[in-house]
Structure 1
Amino acid sequence: MTNRIILNETSYFGAGAIQHIVPEVQGRGAKKVLVVTDKDLMKFHVATKVTELLDQAGVAYDVYDKIKPNPTIENVQEGVAACKAAGADLLVAIGGGSAIDTSKAIAIIMTNPEFADVRSLEGASPTKHKALPIIAVSTTSGTAAEVTINYVITDVERHRKFVCADPHDIPVVAIVDADMVASMPPKLCAATGMDALVHAIEGYITKGAWELTDMMHLKAIEIIGKNLRASVKGDHTARGEMALGQYIAGMGFSNVGLGIDHSMAHPLSAVYDIPHGTACAILLAPVLKFNAPATGDRYREIARAMGVVDVDKLSTEDARTAAIDAVQQLADDVGIPRKLSELGVKAEDIPFLAKSAMADACTPGNPRDVTQKEIEDIYTSIL
Structure 2
Amino acid sequence: MTFHIALPRLMRVGAGAIQELGDVVAELGARRPLIITDPFMQKSGTADIAARALSTAGFEGGVFAETVPDPTTESLVVGLEAVKQHEADVLIGLGGGSSIDTAKALGFLSLNEGPMRDYKAPKTNTGQSLPVVAVPTTAGTGSEATQFTIISDSETDEKMLCTGPSFLPIAAVVDYELTLSMPARLSADTGVDALTHAIEAYVSRRANPFSDGFALAAMTAIGRNLREVYKDGSNRNAREAMMLAATQAGIAFSNSSVALVHGMSRPIGAHFHIAHGLANAMLFPVVTEFSVTGAEARYADCARALGVAGVEDDDEASAQALVTELRALNEDLAVPTPQSYGIGSDDWDRLIPLMAEQALASGSPANNPVVPDASAIEALYAKIYA
Report the TM range for the smaller structure's normalisation: over 0.9
Paired AA for residue 157 in structure 2: H
Q: 1:207 matched to which residue of 2?
A: 205
Deviation of the 1:127 alpha carbon = 4.4
Q: Do the aligned partners of 2:38 and 2:66 also contact (CA within 8 Å) in 1?
A: yes
- Alpha-carbon distance in 2 for matches of 1:76, 1:125: 20
State the alpha-carbon separation in 2 of the partners of residues 121 and 185 from structure 1.
35
Query: Alpha-carbon deviation of 1:325?
Result: 1.0
Tell me: CA distance 1:126–1:210, structure 2 relative to 1, closer, same or farther (3 Å). closer
* Corresponding position of 2:354: 352
Q: Which residue of structure 2 lines up, in the alignment, with residue 325 of structure 1?
A: 324
Asked whether the 8 Å contact 1:135–1:171 carries over to 2, the reply is yes
- Residue 128 of structure 1: how far off its partner (Å): 5.0
Q: Deviations over 1:268-292 (max 9, x none)?
A: 0100110000001111000001101
Aligned partners of 1:370 and 1:325: how far apart in 2?
A: 22
Structure 1 residue runs without a partner (length 5+): none
Letter in 2 for 1:63: V
The within-5 A match list for 1:118-157 is 118-125=116-123, 127-157=125-155
On the 8 A contact 2:221/2:241 being kept in 1, the answer is yes
Question: In the alignment, which residue of structure 2 is the partner of 1:334?
Answer: 333
1:254-281 CA-to-partner distances (Å, cap 9, x unmatched) read 0111111001100001001100000011
8 Å contact from structure 1 (residues 311, 319) kept in 2 = no
Answer whether contact 1:76 1:118 (CA < 8 A) is retained. no
2:103 aligned partner: 103
Q: Is the 8 A contact 1:37 1:64 kept in 2?
A: yes
> Which residues in structure 2 correspond to 1:151-190 (within 5 Å)?
151-190=149-188
> For the residues of structure 2 that align with 1:45 and 1:319, how far apart are their CA atoms?
46
In the alignment, is residue 268 of structure 1 matched against residue 268 of structure 2?
A: yes
Deviation at 1:188, TM superposition (A): 0.6
Residue identity in the other structure for 1:291: S
Measured in 1, the distance between the counterparts of 2:128 and 2:240 equals 31
Change (3 A) 1:261 1:92: same
Assess if the C-alpha contact under 8 Å between 1:137 and 1:175 holds in 2: yes
Rounded Cα–Cα distance in structure 2 between residues aligned with 1:127 and 1:360: 15
Equivalent residues in 2 for 1:213-362, closer than 5 Å? 213-232=211-230, 233-234=232-233, 235-314=235-314, 316-337=315-336, 339-345=337-343, 346-362=348-364
Contact 1:150 1:166 in 2 (8 A): yes
Cα distance between partner residues in 2 of 1:347 and 1:370: 19
Distance 1:294 1:79 in 2: 43
Whether the aligned pair in 1 keeps the contact of 2:296 and 2:319 (CA below 8 Å) is: no
Q: Measure how far apart 1:227 and its partner are.
A: 0.7
Structure 1 Cα separation of the partners of residues 130 and 77 of structure 2: 15
Shift of 1:125: 4.3
Question: How far apart, CA to CA, are the structure 1 residues paired with 2:125 and 2:198?
Answer: 28
Q: How much identity, in percent, do the aligned residues show?
A: 35
SS in 1 for 2:173: strand
CA distance in 1, matches of 2:320, 2:352: 27
Structure 2: how far apart are the matches of 1:211 and 1:372?
31
Distance verdict in 2 for CA 1:12–1:57, change over 3 Å: closer
Question: Which deviates more from structure 2 when the two are superposed, residues 219-228 or residues 293-302?
Answer: 293-302
User: In 2, Cα distance between the equivalents of 1:318 and 1:231?
Assistant: 29
Of 198-207 and 62-71, deviating more is 62-71
Structure 2: give runs of 5+ residues left out of the alignment.
Answer: none
Return the letter of the residue paired with 1:341.
Q
Which has the larger displacement, 191-200 or 249-258? 249-258
- Residues of 2 paired with 1:242 and 1:254: CA distance? 18
Q: How far apart, CA to CA, are the structure 2 residues paired with 1:20 and 1:124?
A: 36
Deviation of residue 208 (structure 1)?
0.5
Moved more, 15-24 or 193-202: 15-24
Which one of 360, 366, 369 corresponds to residue 368 of structure 2?
366
Please list, as runs of the form range in 1=range in 2, the aligned pairs for 1:371-382 lying within 5 A after superposition. Answer: 371-382=373-384
Residue aligned with 1:221, SS: helix
What letter corresponds to residue 20 of structure 1 in structure 2? E
Moved more, 345-354 or 79-88: 345-354
Paired amino acid for 1:207: R
CA deviations 1:160-218 (Å, max 9, x no partner) are 10101111221111111011111111111110000000000111111011222111111
Query: Does the CA contact (< 8 Å) of 1:96 and 1:143 recur in 2?
Result: yes
- Secondary structure of the residue aligned to 1:379 is helix
Task: Say whether 1:10 aligns with 2:10.
Answer: yes
Distance 1:215 1:366 in 2: 19
Change (3 A) 1:166 1:313: closer
TM-score w.r.t. length of structure 2: 0.94
1:75 counterpart letter in structure 2: S
Which stretch of the first structure deviates more once superposed, 46-55 or 65-74?
46-55
